[in-house]
Amino acid sequence: MKKLLAAVCISVSAFSFAQDYSVPAASPRQKVEQQFSMSKISIDYGRPGVKGRKIFGELVPYGQVWRAGANSSTKITFGQAVNFGGKTVPAGTYGLFIVPTEKEWKVILNKDFQQWGAYTYDPKQDVVDVTVPVNKLTDKQEWFEITLNPTDENTGNLVIKWDMAQAEVPLKPSKLDTVIKISDKLKEIKKIESDSTKKS
């Protein structure tokens, strides 16, 4: 009976341990969420490492569509309509894909954001694509990375970098003048509320 009880305790302990830990992923999943203008932008993507390989032009062939990460396709969600590199994109979730060349990347937003990699990529589902220049980094970016870099409260850049390459897509609200007017009115309301609280 004591042996059975001990075996049960060990099994429970092992199960609890397994729930808290997992085998490290070769390309860990990253979720990025950031305030942008009057809403948020979120990105869900896999982060492959360079691991001594030649990336662009070999592992990621030039001129072919790439999932912009690893494993399931990269998903990007806009909480409001945005100007994506000069083109209007409605609020919603999209698959993010790239067609790289040595000097520029075509960055694509596609309606299908639930596919694995780019194996079932259908260009007919593209919402927009923009072509941006590629800059050479001075230091190697070992793990693929997508970040949001604000330039002011209503504009910013989607920054994509891996190995020695970096590209940026400028972002702003689709109707910037309207957003600024709304924002100014909201600031006025907040000031009135603050002043009212101070007086009372």
Of 61, 83, 102, which Cα lies nearest the Cα of 179?
83
The confidence score (pLDDT) of residue 22 equals: 64
Q: Which residue, chain included where needed, has tokens 């932008």?
A: 41
In tens, the pLDDT along 126-171 reads 999 999 999 999 999 999 999 999 999 899 999 999 999 999 999 9
In tens, the pLDDT along 96-122 reads 999 999 999 999 999 999 888 788 899
Cβ within 8 Å of residue 164, ≥6 positions away: 136, 137, 140, 141
In tens, the pLDDT along 18-38 reads 566 666 677 789 899 999 988
Largest CA distance in the chain: 76
Please tell me the pTM assigned to this model: 0.80
Map out the domains of the chain as residue ranges.
29-187
Cα–Cα dist 94/110, whole Å: 5
Residue 59's CB is within 10 A of a number of other CB atoms, namely: 13
Tokens for 105, please give them.
């990347």
Residue 170 in contact with residue 29, Cβ under 8 Å?
A: no
